[in-house]
């Protein structure tokens, strides 16, 4: 397929069709037909940063969530094919989560709105850009001052423009973000007199206690959370931090905790305050905390114990450990604990942190993480709508119709607005109700920037032309690509972003808007950055500043840290049990889906097929109940139930989960779209339908309703990739106590010690000698042809003490290796193709009475030296390369599938259907990696350790007459892993990192006794000892 490179940049239709042939790897595989006439279409003008067959990287910024990670966009022949972390970026340091990587499927999403549309006679009909802009200008005029806009939390030059623009014509912009951190801001104002969001340093903390904040998957800034957590909680000579999770349900973050403390929902406040109280008593608290003594006096562990149902001793223990473990860190505010008293909870946790002296240490104010206006804003907007003060509503990067609880009644009010404009890229629920759609460009297609925090300025540049030619045209401009050289834009054509639209409308409408003079949004952006350049001292030569900024993906200054003190005369409000709507017997806890989040990810097959880290369910929603509850209700896995709250009802299949309180029923958000493209529409049920309108609270209290369960006596097959979730003593995900690990014992030794078995040789010496001799002989007899010369031996190590199960590696693998998604039905038959899967084994739990613990183990091809899959292949399609890979030659494979049977790790995947044709409907096929063959039906495929990257690097090195440096390149999974658990390299090079890690006493091979001699070494998980 690289042959198609020259199609770039000119004839779009051609571009699509020929690249469409990418997914026609089928044709290629089933025989090398050269019969069809291929056209070669040259560039008209060669752009110097596009070397055919060589990827070009552009720096940009991820906008999937507000934390604003820096990304490198890998482009080939002028189209983005992969998103990778930007190592220079302080937030994510070169790593990228599943959601960030799936942004690519947002770019190439089949559900994208391909151009402006106007509602005429009830239906949306395409119109030209000029008409759309003219119409908008006219409507703006008509609406007079009665203009309003609602946008997401994103903060940057565009949001400034929008605010100014709307402001100029007398309206205001409401910035709304679901799962926003409003309670935290309110609490911060209350306790510290500032309503900004602080940064949390998980890496420094030695004792992390989270009150329902899922800082590893969805809360605040997950990538920072992951990195910090793996630094402090990953095993090292410094030992290992402790992590206690408090909440009604064990989320992925909870599964990574050493201890799960479940308290009566809503009583977390009491717990936090009691802990603070104990710490105060213990002394060592900052002087000015003394004022709190009186206020906290009412919160003895005994009192708290009554509220929480925890033994007082436990509370004291937690408090003491938290106070003494070294810098601690308490966080709160995940939506699972966001009840009507969420503000009090955050305040209590603030106090706890303050008393423990963590403020300024692990909790740093001054970072100014982006936050929206919270629910008050929306409430205000809706009031204005009611009052008929909104004649024109502009919806930008927000989908309130879906993400607000239905009971809030946004939809009804929206319908009443005379003219509604949406800039959404996809036809989401809100856009579907609008009268005019002027789709924005995807962040990879447009000029934009973002301010994810104080001192951080992320840039976005068009790394390619708009996927849809209908995206209009503005004059091409110059900018720089990753290599740092000054060059032509890869995008000969840049589409019209919403920024451009606003500016053009401004020109048309004139009046107060005439002050916006910039020709294009790019120009506007540059002006804004001139100002920044001034601050940054780059004013002298703006071009250089601009170019460097583009090359780095933005400007990353030090995060300022501002001192905060307790607000004077602070006294925490008297704790009272939060109220719950309705009289159902269960408290309903919706929680953000790790990948779909608030539902914005639901139109991306990668995210739908990536199994939820906890339940491993794909493609549909579910209802979680505890085993005890399941018994009591007499429901089982897959049984459909209806949850009824005073505000609504939803239906979903049951999933029985040990990590859930008996009095709580949990459900993931993000499903139940009624619009939003072929993948999302009508998939599952929307948990938010059960919530009421936030009345008294200035935020959406997600944990505020009680539900009733009705059995429907129908069943639905649950598409989980989980087989048997217990290890049955097969030692797949090994673990050892901290003490043993600290003494440098091996897993076996640790076992023997625990079992009190004496150290002893398992085989007689003679036998070992004999085996050694035999093996040496065998190895001699292998030395023929390519196998004579010694070559590198590629290997990998995976540290289970660091792996959090976040599944970023899985998506990375899908993206890098053109792995097709197979969908619900095929997942049911166990036919998912994920070359890399995260197996999640339970230890303890309801059945055993022990506390439930999870062991995550990424399972991929082990590249065994004695691979059982190889000798059984009749055509050498599975064989061993001279550099230690277990090669799989797709075009040689005839599909006997014996390799799949004989693989003890079950990591070989077969193309039962023409997945390559089903999985990539246009334009999704444009995301395919040209360096990797797209597998046809009837062939076996599996992890190749990214052989395309290995060969590419070898070619590069050979061209430059040099050796490959360790760590110079790595596999997609290792590159993505946010907790740096995966290390790849040449095992034969003693200096390489992987070679050193393989020496770690914690190292072991899965199913070692089969003598398959895997090239992948796992490092055993480390557990806190009995004190946990």
Shortest Cβ 876–other proteins spacing (Å): 5
What lies within 8 Å, CB to CB, of 560 at 6+ separation is 366, 367, 454, 455
- Residues near 787 by beta carbon (within 8 Å), at least 6 away in sequence: 882
The yes or no reply on residue 878 touching other proteins (CB under 8 A) is yes
593 strand-pairing partners: 597
**C-beta separation of 699 from 379 below 8 A:** no
Residues in 788-827 that interact with other proteins by CB under 8 A: 826
Residue 801, helix vs strand vs coil: coil
Choices 566-574, 693-701, 906-914, 995-1003; region in contact with other proteins by CB under 8 A: 906-914
Q: Which is nearer to other proteins, 457 or 915 (CB)?
A: 915
Residues 52-111, interacting with other proteins (CB under 8 A)? 52-54
Looking at 716, 739, 889, 964, which residue binds other proteins (CB under 8 A)? 889
Residue with smaller CB distance to other proteins, 421 or 939: 939
Q: How far is the CB of 990 from other proteins (least distance, A)?
A: 22
Residues between 957 and 986 with contacts to other proteins, criterion CB under 8 A: 958-959
**Cβ of residue 891: shortest distance to other proteins, in angstroms?**
4
Minimum distance from CB of 1003 to other proteins (Å)? 20
Q: 846: how many CB neighbours lie within 10 A of its CB?
A: 17
Total number of residues binding other proteins (CB under 8 A)? 118
Is residue 12 at the binding interface for other proteins, with CB under 8 A as the rule? no
Judged by CB, which is closer to other proteins: 41, or 134? 41
Q: Would you say 315 and 305 are in contact if contact means Cβ atoms under 8 Å apart?
A: yes
Interacting residues with other proteins between 922 and 961 (CB under 8 A): 931-934, 936-940, 944, 947-948, 951, 955, 958-959
- Closer residue to other proteins, CB minimum distance, 559 or 892: 892
* Cβ–Cβ < 8 Å for 175, 374: no
Long-range contacts of 518-525 (CB under 8 A, 24+ apart): 520/447, 520/474, 520/475, 521/158, 521/161, 521/446, 521/447, 521/448, 521/497, 522/447, 522/474, 522/477, 522/494, 524/157, 524/161, 524/499, 525/157, 525/447, 525/448, 525/449, 525/499
Write 525-531 long-range contacts (CB < 8 A, 24+). Answer: 525/157, 525/447, 525/448, 525/449, 525/499, 528/157, 528/160, 528/449, 529/157, 529/449
Q: Which of 436, 893, 977, 1020 binds other proteins (CB under 8 A)?
A: 893
Exactly one of 325, 433, 1010, 1028 binds other proteins (CB under 8 A); that residue is 1010
911 part of the interface to other proteins, by CB under 8 A: yes
122 or 729: CB nearest other proteins = 729
Q: Please, which residue, 149 or 932, has the CB nearer to other proteins?
A: 932
25 φ, ψ (degrees, to nearest 5):
-55, -25
Report the alpha-carbon distance of residue 101 to residue 79 in Å, rounded.
Answer: 15
Residue 785 binds other proteins (CB under 8 A):
yes
Instruction: Quote the crossing angle between the two packed helices 157-168 and 521-536, to the nearest 10°.
Output: 120
Regarding 627 and contact with other proteins (CB under 8 A), the answer is no
Choose, by CB under 8 A, the member of 897, 988, 993, 1024 that binds other proteins.
897
The number of beta carbons lying within 10 Å of the beta carbon of residue 879 is 17
Q: Closest approach of Cβ 465 to other proteins, in Å?
A: 15
Minimal distance, residue 916 CB to other proteins, in Å: 11
991 is a site residue for other proteins (CB under 8 A):
no
In angstroms, give the least distance from the CB of 683 to other proteins: 22
**Among 194, 314, 376, 891, which residue sits at the site for other proteins (rule: CB under 8 A)?**
891
Q: Does 577 participate in binding other proteins (rule CB under 8 A)?
A: no
Which CB sits closer to other proteins, 232 or 971? 971
Q: Phi and psi dihedrals of 643, rounded to 5?
A: -95, 130
Asked if residue 913 binds other proteins (CB under 8 A), the reply is yes
Residues 6+ apart with CB under 8 A from 548: 484
Q: How far is the CB of 475 from other proteins (least distance, A)?
A: 15
Q: Which two tokens stand for residue 23?
A: 């997914």
List the one residue from 163, 379, 1007, 1028 that touches other proteins (CB under 8 A).
1007
Q: Token digits for 945?
A: 């350790």
CB of 631 or CB of 906, closer to other proteins? 906
Which of residues 6 and 324 has its CB atom nearest to other proteins in the complex?
A: 6
Task: Choose between 437 and 718: whose C-beta lies nearer to other proteins.
Answer: 718
Which residue's CB is nearer to other proteins, number 137 or number 936?
A: 936
Supply the minimum distance, in Å, between the C-beta of residue 917 and other proteins: 10
Kindly identify the residues of this chain, within the stretch 14-53, that bind other proteins according to CB under 8 A: 21-22, 24-25, 27-30, 32-34, 36-46, 51-53
Give the x-and-dash track for 238-267 against other proteins (CB under 8 A): ------------------------------
Residues whose CB falls within 8 Å of the CB of residue 976, separated by 6 or more in sequence, listed in order: 84, 85, 95, 96, 101, 808, 809, 811, 812
Q: Which stretch binds other proteins (CB under 8 A): 440-448, 463-471, 473-481, 876-884?
A: 876-884
Q: What is the token pair recorded at 285?
A: 């608290």
Measured from the CB of residue 607, what is the shortest distance to other proteins in angstroms? 21
Our finding on whether 784 is near other proteins (CB under 8 A) is yes
Q: Establish if 772 lies at the interface with other proteins (CB under 8 A).
A: no
Minimum gap (Å) between residue 1023 Cβ and other proteins: 20
Tokens in use for 1018? 């796992």
Report the residue number, 314 or 948, with the smaller CB distance to other proteins. 948
Binding to other proteins by residue 910, rule CB under 8 A?
Answer: yes
Residues 609/834, Cβ–Cβ less than 8 Å: yes
Tally Cβ neighbours within 10 Å of residue 685: 23
Tell me if 875 contacts other proteins by CB under 8 A: yes
Q: 345 near 211, Cβ under 8 Å?
A: yes
Strands (E) located in 723-809: 735-737, 794-799
Q: Least distance (Å) from other proteins to the CB of residue 609?
A: 15
Question: Whose Cβ is closer to other proteins: residue 8's or residue 424's?
Answer: 8
Contacts of 351 (CB under 8 A, 6+ apart): 191, 272, 273, 276, 292, 296, 572
User: Can residue 294 be called a binding residue for other proteins (CB under 8 A)?
Assistant: no
Under the criterion CB under 8 A, does residue 388 sit at the interface with other proteins?
no
Query: Binding to other proteins (CB under 8 A): which residues in 684-743?
Result: 722-730, 732
* Structure-token pair, residue 712: 């429907």
Site for other proteins in 631-690 (CB under 8 A): none
Tokens of 8: 């770039």
Q: Which positions from 855 to 874 touch other proteins by CB under 8 A, shown as an x/- string?
A: ----x-----xxxx-xxxxx
Q: Are the C-beta atoms of residues 591 and 213 closer than 8 Å to each other?
A: no
Token code pair at residue 954? 């070898």
Strand partners, 796: 984, 1016
User: Which position among 714, 850, 901, 999 is part of the footprint of other proteins (CB under 8 A)?
Assistant: 901
Nearer to other proteins, 65 or 735 (CB): 735
Using the rule CB under 8 A, which residue among 350, 881, 975, 979 binds other proteins? 881
Q: State the helix-helix crossing angle for 268-282 and 342-355, rounded to 10 degrees.
A: 20
DSSP 637: T
Residues numbered 826-845 forming contacts with other proteins, rule: CB under 8 A: 826, 829-831, 837, 839, 841
Rule CB under 8 A: which of 199-228 touch other proteins? none
> In a 10 Å sphere around its CB, with 0-12 CB exposed, 13-18 middle and 19+ buried, how is residue 601 labelled?
buried
């Amino acid at each position: 397929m690289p042959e198609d490179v020259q199609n770039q940049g000119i004839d779009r239709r051609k571009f699509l069709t020929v690249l469409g042939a990418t997914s026609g790897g089928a044709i290629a595989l089933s025989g090398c037909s050269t019969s069809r006439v291929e056209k070669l279409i040259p560039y008209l003008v060669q752009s110097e940063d596009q070397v055919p067959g060589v990827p070009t990287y552009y720096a940009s910024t991820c906008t999937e969530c507000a934390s604003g990670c820096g990304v490198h966009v890998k482009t080939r022949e002028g189209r983005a094919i992969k998103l990778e972390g930007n190592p220079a970026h302080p937030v994510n340091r070169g790593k990228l989560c599943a959601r960030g990587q799936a942004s690519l499927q947002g770019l190439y999403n089949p559900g994208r709105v391909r151009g402006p549309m106007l509602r005429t006679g009830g239906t949306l009909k395409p119109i030209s850009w000029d008409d759309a802009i003219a119409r908008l200008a006219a409507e703006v005029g008509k609406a007079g001052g009665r203009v309003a806009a609602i946008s997401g939390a994103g903060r940057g030059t565009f949001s400034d423009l929008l605010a100014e623009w709307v402001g100029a014509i007398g309206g205001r912009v409401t910035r709304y973000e679901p799962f926003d951190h409003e309670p935290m801001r309110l609490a911060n104002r209350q306790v510290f007199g500032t309503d900004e969001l602080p940064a949390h340093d998980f890496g420094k903390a030695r004792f992390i206690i989270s009150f329902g904040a899922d800082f590893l998957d969805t809360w605040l800034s997950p990538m920072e959370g992951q990195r910090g957590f793996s630094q402090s909680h990953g095993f090292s000579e410094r030992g290992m931090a402790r992590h206690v999770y408090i909440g009604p349900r064990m989320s992925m973050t909870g599964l990574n905790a050493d201890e799960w403390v479940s308290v009566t929902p809503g009583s977390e406040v009491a717990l936090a305050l009691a802990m603070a109280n104990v710490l105060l008593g213990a002394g060592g608290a900052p002087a000015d905390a003394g004022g709190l003594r009186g206020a906290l006096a009412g919160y003895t562990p005994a009192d708290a114990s009554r509220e929480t149902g925890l033994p007082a001793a436990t509370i004291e223990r937690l408090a003491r450990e938290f106070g003494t473990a070294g810098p601690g860190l308490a966080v709160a505010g995940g939506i699972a604990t966001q009840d009507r008293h969420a503000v009090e909870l955050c305040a209590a946790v603030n106090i706890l942190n303050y008393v423990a002296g963590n403020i300024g240490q692990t909790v740093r104010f001054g970072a100014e993480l982006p936050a929206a206006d919270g629910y008050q804003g929306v409430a205000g907007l809706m009031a204005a709508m009611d009052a008929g003060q909104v004649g024109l509503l502009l919806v930008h990067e927000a989908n309130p119709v879906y993400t607000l609880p239905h009971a809030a009644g946004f939809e009804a009010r929206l319908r009443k607005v005379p003219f509604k404009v949406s800039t959404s890229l996809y036809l989401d629920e809100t856009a579907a109700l609008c009268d005019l759609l002027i789709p924005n460009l995807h962040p990879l297609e447009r000029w934009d920037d973002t301010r994810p925090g104080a001192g951080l300025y992320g840039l976005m540049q068009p790394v390619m032309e708009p996927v849809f030619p209908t995206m209009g045209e503005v004059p091409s401009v110059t900018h720089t690509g990753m290599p740092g050289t000054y060059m032509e834009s890869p995008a000969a054509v840049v589409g019209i972003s919403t920024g451009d639209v606003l500016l053009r409308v401004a020109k048309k409408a004139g009046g107060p808007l005439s002050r916006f003079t910039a020709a294009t949004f790019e120009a506007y952006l540059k002006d804004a950055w001139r100002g920044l350049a001034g601050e940054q001292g780059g004013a002298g030569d703006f071009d250089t500043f601009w170019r460097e900024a583009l090359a780095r993906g933005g400007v990353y200054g030090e995060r300022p840290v501002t001192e905060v003190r307790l607000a004077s005369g602070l006294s925490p409000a008297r704790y009272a049990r939060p109220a719950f709507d309705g009289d159902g017997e269960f408290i309903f806890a919706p929680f953000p889906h790790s990948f779909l989040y608030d539902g914005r990810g639901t139109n991306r097959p990668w995210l739908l097929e990536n199994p939820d880290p906890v339940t491993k369910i794909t493609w549909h929603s579910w209802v979680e109940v505890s085993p005890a509850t399941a018994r009591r209700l007499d429901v089982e896995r897959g049984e459909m139930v209806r949850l009824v709250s005073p505000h609504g009802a939803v239906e979903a299949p049951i999933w029985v989960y040990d990590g859930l309180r008996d009095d709580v029923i949990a459900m993931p958000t993000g499903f139940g779209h009624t619009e939003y493209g072929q993948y999302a529409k009508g998939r599952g049920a929307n948990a938010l339908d059960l919530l009421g309108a936030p009345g008294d609270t200035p935020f959406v209290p997600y944990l505020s309703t009680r539900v009733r369960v009705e059995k429907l006596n129908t069943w639905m097959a649950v598409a989980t990739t989980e087989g048997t979730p217990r290890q049955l003593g097969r030692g797949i995900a090994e673990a050892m106590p901290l003490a043993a690990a600290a003494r440098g014992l091996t897993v076996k030794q640790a076992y023997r010690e625990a079992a009190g078995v004496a150290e002893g040789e398992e085989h007689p010496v003679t036998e070992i000698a004999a085996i050694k001799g035999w093996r040496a002989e065998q190895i001699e007899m292998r030395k023929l042809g390519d196998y004579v010369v010694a070559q590198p031996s590629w290997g990998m190590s995976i540290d289970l003490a660091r792996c959090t199960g976040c599944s970023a590696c899985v998506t990375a693998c899908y993206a890098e290796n053109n792995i097709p998604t197979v969908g619900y039905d095929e997942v049911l038959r166990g036919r998912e193709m994920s070359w890399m899967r995260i197996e999640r084994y339970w230890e303890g739990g309801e059945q055993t009475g022990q506390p439930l613990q999870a062991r995550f183990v990424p399972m991929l091809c082990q590249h065994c030296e004695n691979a059982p899959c190889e000798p059984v292949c009749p055509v050498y399609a599975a064989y061993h390369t001279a550099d230690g890979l277990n090669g799989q030659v797709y075009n040689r494979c005839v599909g006997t599938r014996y390799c799949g049977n004989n693989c003890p790790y079950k990591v070989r995947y077969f193309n039962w259907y023409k997945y390559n044709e089903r999985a990539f409907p246009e334009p999704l096929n444009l995301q395919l990696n040209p360096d990797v063959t797209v597998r046809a039906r009837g062939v076996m495929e599996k992890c190749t350790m990214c052989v395309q990257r290995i060969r590419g690097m070898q070619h590069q090195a050979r061209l430059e007459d040099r050796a490959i440096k360790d760590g110079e390149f790595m596999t997609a999974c290792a590159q993505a892993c946010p907790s740096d658990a995966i290390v790849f390299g040449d095992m034969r090079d003693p200096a390489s990192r992987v070679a050193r890690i393989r020496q770690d006493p914690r190292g072991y091979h899965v199913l070692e006794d089969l003598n398959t001699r895997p090239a992948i070494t796992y490092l055993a998980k480390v557990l806190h000892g009995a004190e946990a």
